Amino acid sequence: MDNLIALLIAAPLLGAAVLLCGGRALDRVGPLVGTVLSGASFVIGAVLFADMLGKGAGDRTMTQHLFAWVPVAGFKADVGFQLDQLSMTFVLLISGVGTLIHIYSIGYMAHDERRRRFFGYLNLFVAAMLLLVLASNYLLLYMGWEGVGLASYLLIGFWQHKPSAATAAKKAFLVNRVGDMGLSIAIMLMFTTFGTFSFGGVFGAAHGATEGKLTAISLMLLLAACGKSAQVPLQSWLGDAMEGPTPVSALIHAATMVTAGVYLITRSADLFNGAPTAQLAVVVVGGVTLLFGAIVGCAKDDIKKSLAGSTMSQIGYMILAAGLGPIGYVFAIMHLVTHGFFKAGLFLGAGSVMHGMNDEVDMRKYGGLRKYMPVTFVTFGLGYLAIIGFPGLSGFFSKDKIVEAAFAKGGTEGWILGAVTLLGAAITAYYMTRMMLMTFFGEERWRNTATASPDAPDVEPAAEERGRHAEPHPHESPSVMTIPMIVLAIGSVGAGAFFGVGDRFLRWLEPVTGHSEGNSPVSAGVVTAATLVLLVVGAGIAYLQYGRRPVPARAPRGSLLTRAARRDLLQDDFNHVVLVRGGEHLTRSLVYVDHTVVDGVVNGTAASFGGLSGRLRKLQNGYARSYALSMFGGTAVIVAATLLMRAV
Amino acid sequence: MSFPYLTVTFALPAAGAIVTAAVPAARRTAAKWTALVFSLATLVMAAIVIVRFDPGGGQFQLAESHAWIKDFGVSYDLGVDGIGVALLALTALLIPFVILAGWHDADPLEEARPNRRWRPTQGFFALILAVEAMVVLSFEATDVFLFYLLFEAMLIPMYFLIGGFGDRAHSGGDEAAATQRSYAAVKFLLYNLVGGLIMLAAVIGVYVVAGTFSLTDIAHLRAAGDLSMSTSTGRWLFLGFFFAFAVKAPLWPVHTWLPSAMGESTAPVAVLLTAVVDKVGTFAMLRYCLQLFPEASKWATPVILVLALISIVYGALLAVGQRDIKRLIAYASISHFGFIIMGIFAMTSQGQSGATLYMVNHGISTAALMLVAGFLISRRGSRLISDYGGVQKVAPVLAGTFLIGGLATLSLPGLSPFVSEFLVLVGTFSRYPVIGIIATIGIVLAALYVLVLYQRTMTGPVKATVQGMSDLKVREVVVVAPLIALLIFLGVYPKPLTDIVNPAVHQTMSQVDRTDPHPQLEASR
């Protein structure tokens, strides 16, 4: 059974290889091949899962060793896999949601002439993400880590002829590289501290390391997590990443890849547990991002960018929970899974709306769509109820647990964190209700307004293929698209209750991550009540602003905060001024320095040694023989000198 | 006496050079095929050398020794260690691709040229083979004088390759192109000659001190304690050698000849220069600087590490600022040479094995990137990045291979340069943490210059100047596909290479009398 683990990765990897190297002949069957191979991975995952359930909680970890990867003296990196309950959870999420999104893409990308390549990239992503969660050492994890970064780069920039897409792709890769620097340094520190970077070796020895070392390693891992999971201060790439096709946003930039940071921290629990300072940094990052993302989500009129802000914010919840230590690990992962369902569903819903609206993304040009897209409306609506934490739905169970865990941290810290998570819940209810109202209710603001011309560079090129750019005619998407939405909606509704009731998820994951209750100053009932009150407040304010009053087709000027939030709270402006402009000046002046100073000084020094620069000018006349001569002159000197030495 | 494997490996391309040069002027195609066949024969011979080489055996294997100039102790001594074998294989592997990629680079412009002695094609391919022969022999030589001779002699064919053959179309017209080219060639020659002259003094010095040029004899003398070299003599001699190798490698601040030489020459020649010839410099640091002058090497380490670090960051920043595709790749190479030199002088197993792998991997990845860049340039006749845009739409295979070459250059995990770069970083970090951490900035900057280059040339709307550009031809795919396959294979399974290199590195480490730092905690394994 253990030997099946490699097949999980091999199936989609094969798909990627075949689809990317195969020629035009595969254009027609490409989408099907990609979907089947992703599905195969899910089936293998399910078989392994069934096998795992049959074993006792203590010996569920399976391992597979393939070969020695980089063996150099004490440095041993193997290609080996480890499948335990934590990895298993991810395997099912990645291959499951991944396959659903493959199916959805068959419909969504039907008119794109490069769809074979699209499915190749998707398969590459699934393979790399599975490698990330199955690796049994940090260096192999790194390979998966950058592999998903590559897939993300390729998919964000899939419509490469759009300059904005190419720029967004590059930005995502670069920001992630800064995080990767952290992962590199963490691995180097592990090697010099423990002499190994395999999970078993590191975690087994972690208790013997000094707190300083553990803190350093953990902070570097946190930097890596910030990059991949779009947490402050490395969050700026996620909003731009929405340039990619919507299924990509759903799979990579909502459900799976961006949660890799949460995986990394949870996986490294043994390191973080010994480094309280690093854990404090983790909760601060999570808390700040939670509010940051939520505020940005409130201000955006672009439906995908608003959802991207929401993703940031929800991952902030997970990171915060992971930073709480054993009190929060399980709930971080639980929220990650439920979020995978409802956020993927919401994105697919957004894609379905765009599909029916000539790829318009501005919510101010939507309105009243519930009549025209009933399936999308219902599935999106269920996702909406799940994310705001409506009682009984997924988000209610998983988010509530994180709020409780935040209070259970204890002390002033616990109160602050608890308050932040509660505030976040209110803002979530606000921006999601706003989105729901602007899209599906109210006036039909798209009447008599042509959508942007397909020649405009910022339009998704699918519109070009369909050749419609007059007034949109909203319609429901084909069933190949709606079925995945329905499946995800079922997950959004039921997963939370399934996991939460009887602490099923807790008992499943506890053997890997450990768990402690903490000591909460407030009872669970009070927390739930407070969450519900804030939910009503948030949703209510949104209703007053966007439900009771008509939505202006052009955004009002807004307050200072709104205007800042529309610009991602000015982080890009900061980056532009400090990093981009500063960098340009630096490289330009260095080019100048290299050309004049370095070259000049070296030539000048040479000249002062023997009039070389004068010779340079003379030699340039092209007497090649003289170079040969001078060289053999050198040889003659050595011969003469050695003969002389012997004579002496 | 056993079969002279090493002599044959060197003699094949040397003979090939002569035969190719002798092909009649009108038979250009025959000359090309002759060169290709000889280079492939050399590759086969190199493969045999690898098979015959026993990683667990003695230091210098397949040794041959013949007295040459008896009067002053110069002999024709050959032998290879694991590092030499790896670089020998790289050289033999890359030359056929260089020849194939440059297939049309030296076709005469006007068909009917009256002068019957005018035969640039023959000259071009003969020169390439001549360079190969000399580089191969310099990896095999175990006699300091023989090595010096080759180190200098290879400048001559290289000079003619840079100065004599440029890109076809040039923005400034033929006249300007020729002037710039000859400037670049002369600069290349002068820098390396000066380095060589200083090395010459040091070579003489070694003879004065040791009384022999033979590496093995010197090692025996040292082991027996019969080598009387004062500390200061050792340091001066070390500097003489190191300077020459630093120029060739090249290391900041004596690097400026490389961008002009790579910029002005054709892409295959640029590959020959940076992927093959320059490796002699870094190889010689490991072989000659460390083994002849262990004490002085350790004495100079701090300064060299700082220079290497400057190379890494400085080279990468300058690559970001370039507007010329080839110069950009040249500056990227300078950054990479910084990594190689840093790995060598970190004096850890990981650092030195990593540096050796880096030499091989940099050769392959730069060849892939530069040759595809050359294909691109040959289609449009411009080296300026701004003259391209949206190429992926018209030539997707070209764009795809260019991207893979670029990803290898930025050391993406899964491709072979990652393995070597990470080993160098870990090896450096374990002894010099601060330098190791600063060097990781290099991995962010590498992503910047590669992706900016890709974005500006390949993505965005299709520029009018690029419209109708053809995709890669069969010959071009034959050049690139094996290189990419190799990048992936060695990225996933580098063990065949590490198995050959590790023992040689162990040997070097013990000669320098250095051991790896121990981890602070022995983990429970």
Q: What is the pLDDT of residues A226-277, one digit of tens each?
A: 999 999 888 888 888 898 899 999 888 888 999 999 999 999 999 999 999 9
- Which residue would you say has higher pLDDT here, A595 or B85? B85
B-chain CB neighbours of A602 within 8 Å are 253-254, 256
- Candidates A178, A635, A638, A643, partner chain B, best to mutate (most B CBs within 10 A): A638
Close Cβ partners of B413 (under 8 Å, ≥ 6 residues apart): A142, A143, A145, A146, A147, B491
CB nearest B412 (choices: A146, A160, A170): A146
Predicted confidence (pLDDT) at residue A609 exceeds the cutoff of 70: no
With 0-12 CB in 10 A as exposed, 13-18 as middle and 19+ as buried, what is B277?
Answer: buried
On chain A, the residues whose CB falls within 8 A of the CB of B493 are 67, 69
Contacts of A590 in chain B (CB under 8 A): 314, 317-318, 321
Kindly state whether A626 is in contact with chain B, defined as any CB-CB distance less than 8 angstroms: no
Residue appearing with tokens 């995986």: A263
User: What was the pLDDT predicted at A189?
Assistant: 93
3-state SS, B318-357, equals HHHCCCEHHHHHHHHHHHHHHHHHHHHHHCCHHHHHHHHH
Asked if A201 lies within 8 A of B523 by C-beta distance, the reply is yes
State the total domains in chain B.
Answer: 1
In a domain, B523, yes or no: no
According to the model, what pLDDT value does residue A634 have?
61
Residue window 179-208, chain A: list those with CB within 8 Å of chain B: 180-181, 184-185, 187-188, 191-196, 201-202, 204-205, 208
Q: What is the pLDDT of residue B215?
A: 86
**Closest partner residue to A195 among B189, B208, B523, by Cβ?**
B523
Q: What is the rounded CA–CA span in Å between residue A541 and residue A520?
A: 30
Mean pLDDT on A110-127: 91
Q: Could you tell me which residues come within 8 angstroms of residue A138 by beta carbon, excluding any fewer than 6 positions away?
A: A183, A186, A187, A190, A197, A198, A199, A202
Task: Give the number of other Cβ atoms within 10 Å of residue B142's Cβ.
Answer: 28
Q: Write the pLDDT tens digit of every residue in A84-105.
A: 999 999 999 999 999 999 999 9
Enumerate the residues of chain B whose CB falls inside 8 A of the CB of residue A67.
493, 495
Q: How many other C-beta atoms are found inside a 10 Å radius of the C-beta of residue A233?
A: 17
Contact B149 A161 (CB under 8 A): no
CB contact under 8 A, B440 and A181: yes
Residue A73 at interface with chain B, using a CB cutoff of 8 Å: yes
Q: Tokens 């998570």 label which residue?
A: A421
Position A641 confidence tier, pLDDT thresholds 50, 70, 90: low
Q: Residue length, chain A?
A: 648
pLDDT of res. B497 = 92
Interface of A with B in 8-27 (CB under 8 A): 20
Q: Which of B148, B156, B200, B256 to mutate to test the interface with A (most CBs of A within 10 A)?
A: B256
Tell if the CB–CB gap between B155 and A142 is shorter than 8 Å.
no
B84 in any annotated domain: yes
CA A443, A447, A453, A459 torsion: positive or negative? positive
Confidence label for A606 from pLDDT (cuts 50, 70 and 90): low
| Complex prediction ipTM | 0.91
Give chain A's radius of gyration (CA, Å).
28
Using the beta-carbon criterion (under 8 Å), do B182 and A622 form an inter-chain contact?
yes
Domain assignment present for residue B517? The answer is: no
- Taking the C-alpha atoms of residue A621 and residue A423, their distance in angstroms, rounded to an integer, is 77
Chain A residues in contact with B321 (beta carbon < 8 A): 587-588, 590-591
Residue A415, pLDDT above cutoff 80 = yes
Identify the pLDDT of residue A646. 54
Query: Residues of A with CB below 8 A from B86's CB?
Result: none
Question: What's the mean pLDDT when you consider all of chain A?
Answer: 85
CB distance B523–A191 less than 8 Å?
no
What whole-number distance in Å separates Cα of residue A540 and Cα of residue A535? Answer: 8
Whole-angstrom Cα distance, residue A4 to residue A470? 52
Lowest mean pLDDT among A114-123, A290-299, B172-181: B172-181
> Which among A73, A602, A641 has the least Cβ separation from residue B254?
A602
Looking up tokens 């981890």, which residue turns up? Answer: B519
pLDDT at position A643: 57
Find out whether A295 and A565 touch, Cβ atoms under 8 Å: yes
- What is the Cα–Cα distance from B370 to B382, expressed in whole angstroms? 14
Q: Which residues contact A210 (CB under 8 A, 6 or more apart)?
A: none
Q: Is B508 helix (H, G, I), strand (E, B) or coil?
A: helix
Q: Do B163 and A624 touch (CB under 8 A)?
A: yes
Q: In the prediction, which pLDDT does A572 show?
A: 74
pLDDT at A465 (0 to 100): 44
Decide if B83 is inside a domain.
yes
Residue ranges in chain B modelled with pLDDT below 50:
112, 169-171, 523-525
- In sign, the C-alpha dihedral spanning A344, A345, A350, A355 is positive
Where is average pLDDT lowest: A320-324, A426-430, B203-207? Answer: B203-207
Both tokens assigned to B85:
């074998």
Strand B61-69 versus strand A75-83 pairing type: unpaired
A213 CB within 8 Å of a chain B CB: yes
A585 Cβ contact list (under 8 Å, min separation 6): none
Do residue B256 and residue A599 have CB atoms under 8 angstroms apart?
A: yes
Asked whether the beta carbons of residue A192 and residue B517 sit closer than 8 angstroms, the reply is: yes
pLDDT at A30: 87
Q: Note the maximum CA span of chain A.
A: 108
Tell if the CB–CB gap between B407 and A150 is shorter than 8 Å: yes
Judged by average pLDDT, the poorest of A317-326, A600-609, B489-498 is A600-609
Span A412-423, mean pLDDT?
Answer: 91
Q: What is the reported pLDDT for A452?
A: 54
The answer to whether the Cβ–Cβ distance between A72 and B452 falls below 8 Å is no
Residue B268 domain boundaries? 5-511
A residues 146-165 lying closer than 8 A (beta carbon) to B: 146-147, 150, 153, 157, 160-163, 165
Average pLDDT over residues A486-500: 89
**Element (H or E) spanning A303, and its range?**
helix A303-323
Of A139, A591, A634, the CB nearest to B196: A634
Name every chain A residue with its beta carbon within 8 A of the beta carbon of B247.
none
Give which of A271, A270, A261 is closest to A321, Cα–Cα: A261
Which residues 6+ apart lie within 8 Å of B112 measured at CB?
none
Q: What integer pLDDT is reported at residue A155 of this predicted model?
A: 93
Rg (CA), chain B: 22
Nearest to B524 among A180, A185, A205 (CB): A205
Looking at the partner chain, which of B200, B203, B256 has a beta carbon nearest the beta carbon of A594?
B256
Chain A residues with beta carbon closer than 8 angstroms to that of B354: 72
The alpha carbon of residue A200 is apart from the nearest alpha carbon of chain B, in Å, by 8
A530-587 pLDDT, tens digit per residue, is 999 999 998 998 888 888 887 777 777 777 777 777 777 777 777 777 777 777 788 8
- Are the beta carbons of B353 and A591 separated by less than 8 Å? no
Instruction: Give the alpha-carbon dihedral of A541, A543, A547, A552, to 10 degrees.
Output: 30
- Average pLDDT on A501-518 reads 86
Termini Cα distance of chain B: 48
Return the pLDDT at A457: 43
pLDDT of A320 over the 70 cut: yes
Give the residue on B whose Cα is nearest the Cα of A457.
B461
Q: Is A631's CB within 8 Å of B392's CB?
A: no
pLDDT of residue A575: 74
- E-assigned strands of B70-203? 74-80
In a domain, B524, yes or no: no
Which of B444, B490, B509 best probes binding to A when mutated, by most A CB atoms within 10 angstroms? B444
Domain-embedded: residue B202: yes
DSSP of A444-498, one letter per residue?
-TTTT-PPPPTTSTTS-THHHHHT--SS----PPPHHHHHHHHHHHHHHHHHHHH
Query: Quick one: pLDDT at residue B437?
Result: 93
Contact residues on chain B for A642, CB-CB shorter than 8 A: 72-73, 204, 207
CB contact under 8 Å between A620 and B186, yes or no, is yes
> Does the beta-carbon distance from B349 to A196 stay under 8 Å?
no
